Structure 1
Amino acid sequence: MLEARLAAECEAVMKQSSASFYEAFRLLSSPRKEAVFVIYTFCRMIDDSVDEPEIAFYTLEELEERFETLETAEGHFIWPALRWLLASFPLGKEPFRTQMGGQRMDRVRTRYRTMEELEDYCYRVAGSVGEMLLPVLHEQPDVKITEAGTWLGKGMQIVNILRDVGEDQQLGRRYLPLELLERCGYSVEEFRDGRVNEAFRLVAAELSALAREWFKRGLQGLHTYPADSAFSIRLAAAYYAAILDAVHANGCDVFTKRAFVDDEGRKSLLRSVLLEMAAAERAPHGGEKPSIRAEMALHESEKSGGRAEVWPGLRPGHGLSDESRPEEPPQRLAL
């Protein structure tokens, strides 16, 4: 098992930065739970090194250097935690290298031309997270299960791109591919002006449909996961689908409004996933029912008003997403 002190450090990072994902993944059994905490923490550090270098503990280059010499890396609790992670699960270094490479793209690229280019970016900063998590969450992840994990991560990234259009536009970034804008009859000039019209709603609808299709692919084979892993994954997907719903409830105005789900919506999602997983138990292929810990989480959520954040890196310009730094708090995601 991971040393208690290291586990507590990583858990604290996830709990503080991502309330909704912490609520889902803390229900995992050990050592899976601790492994997710470690992965999250390192992804957060990668994310911060690019997004907020002024407060980051390491630069991206320093993280890469120490990661490549992990056996001797010291100076931060993440290094012994990562050594434990890689020794305890059939997980290699390549997904982490992919993640860091994807984060580097945000330094030099602020425009995308084709959907293919965007999908490649989504894989690097989000699909790679699926590759990190699969050996932890699944006992025998085959090629199909691994592919599903990358699809789910990429779908989540599409949601973040759509949700954060306005914020990234203010930073001079356009993650919406030019070919998509042209296909929907929406001009770059309209994008720069932040216009929400029927053409832009077509853009949003196409991205939403793509994200939902990738979610569908990502959840294939869910019944083959251990029960707690399946619950955590399904709950995470439900959070992201709710963000899409909120975008469209706002009339697709992602330039001046920030999509969010209120506390009651968060509780409703938790209830819905519990019922869905219980129904899956009775399905012909028979997935397992989530453990009593999942049901306890519903009771605990009634007492907490925790703001939901999303995984670091899953956000344009930041890799995995983080809603923890709102400029306009009422518009922030609060699952």
Structure 2
Amino acid sequence: MTLTASYERCRRLHARYGRSYYLATRLLPRWKRRHVHALYGFARYADEIVDSFTVTGDRARALDRLAARVEDGLAGKPVDGDPVLPAFLHTVRSFGIDHGDVAAFLASMRADLSVTRYATYDDLLGYMAGSAAAIGTMMLPVLEPEPGRAEAAREPARQLGLAFQLTNFLRDVREDHARGRIYLPMADLDTFGVHPDELGGRRARPAVRELLAFEAERARAHYRAAAGGIGLLTASSRPCVRAAVELYGGILDEIERRSFEVLAGRVRVPRRRKAAVFARHLLGSAQAGRAELRVRVELP
């Protein structure tokens, strides 16, 4: 597995499983894209381990092996034969990505092996700190904050990760229930009088829709908290992030348009809307990319 092949494997994982964000990454300068693909590919690779095996013990052993290979790789040891880790580790080293964020992500993946419900939203935030917020902060060095703005950009990056994942939770309520997991807080289900088994049904009664509307407003609050961070990024990354926000926010819009009926079928942003979002940001992306290339180095 060459480094080039590993990056290509990550790109394919991203293209297959993260279509909205993958479309947005096409607005990045070419050199940045493969690093975003590497981070997404690693996250998806770990997520597939958690979801793909039918026996919990098998999942735990596979996740242990992945964590051990990551630890070895971060320590500079070879990880020959792995399809994803060469690209991921190269990206981590290239951008000085915080190893603590990597550990936090893997800890949340391990939680999925045993934790199937969260009592309160604070408990869910604890899980998402690793599964989502840490992904946002791992992406941040690749997306490049403006000089001196990295610390200020960190919390908006965390908030955007939380917003994206909560959006996914709302869209995937029925699929998660089928896997034996409920990510909406139990306290909120109690407040709205929703029995957990209702989240696996074919139709959402009014109480379920009210619950989902409440959680959707939480997601929008995370989007608002993240909004100020886009202007802290280098200009060539802003069109990508703006497009990603519009596309994921579009999922919330579609859920709302369907009156929060997410149990009857998977909610998707129409292709025409995706294409319009991409086209709207394409010119700005090209202009920012050309501006970066025009930067001149003064030679003595």
Deviation at 1:80, TM superposition (A): 3.1
* Residues 1:238 and 2:233 are matched in the alignment: no
Greater relative CO (CA pairs within 8 A, separation 6+): 1
Name whichever of 156-165 and 224-233 sits farther off: 224-233
Q: Deviations over 1:202-250 (max 9, x none)?
A: 2111111111110111121312212231111111111111111111222
Partner Cα separation in structure 2 for residue 3 and residue 195 of structure 1: 47
Choose from 49, 63, 68 the match for 1:65: 68
In structure 2, how many angstroms separate the alpha carbons of the residues matched to 1:186 and 1:79? 42
Asked if 1:118 corresponds to 2:124, the answer is: yes
- How many equivalent pairs are there? 279
**Aligned partner letter, 1:206:** F
Please give the residue correspondences for 1:1-335 in structure 2 after superposition, counting only pairs within 5 Å. Answer: 4-53=4-53, 59-70=62-73, 71-72=76-77, 73-139=79-145, 140=147, 141-188=149-196, 190-191=198-199, 196-273=204-281, 289-292=284-287
Post-superposition Cα deviations, 1:135-173, rounded to whole Å, max 9, x if no partner, equal: 111244533311111111111111111111112223332
Instruction: Give the TM-score normalised by the residue count of structure 2.
Output: 0.83
Distance in 1 (CA, whole Å) between partners of 2:68 and 2:4 is 26
Contact 1:148 1:219 in 2 (8 A): yes
Q: Which has the higher helix share?
A: 2
The 1:147–1:191 alpha-carbon spacing in structure 2 relative to 1, beyond 3 Å, is same
Q: CA deviation at 1:114?
A: 0.6
Identify if the C-alpha distance between structure 1 residues 292 and 180 changes in structure 2 by more than 3 Å, giving closer, same or farther. same
Change (3 A) 1:52 1:138: same
Task: Give 3-state SS (helix, strand or coil) of 1:166's partner.
Answer: helix
Unaligned runs of 5+ in 1: 279-288, 295-335
AA aligned opposite 1:69: D
CA deviation string 1:7-41 (max 9, x = no partner):
33433332343333222213322532221121122
What is the alpha-carbon root mean square deviation over aligned residues? Answer: 2.7
Contact 1:227 1:291 in 2 (8 A): no
Contact 2:255 2:267 in 1 (8 A): yes
The whole-number CA distance in structure 1 between the counterparts of 2:200 and 2:6 is 46
Q: CA deviation at 1:194?
A: 6.1
Give runs of ≥4 in structure 1 deviating > 6 Å: none
Counterpart code for 2:222: W
| CA distances 1:29-55 after superposition (whole Å, capped 9, x unpaired) | 253222112112211211111111479
- What do the CA deviations read for 1:258-317 (whole angstroms, capped 9, x no partner)? 11122112122224555xxx8xxxxxxxxxx432599xxxxxxxxxxxxxxxxxxxxxxx
Find the aligned partners of 1:31 and 1:88 in 2 and give their Cα distance: 12
* C-alpha displacement of 1:91: 1.0
Q: How far apart, CA to CA, are the structure 1 residues paired with 2:9 and 2:228?
A: 33
Consecutive unaligned residues in structure 2, runs of 5 or more:
290-300
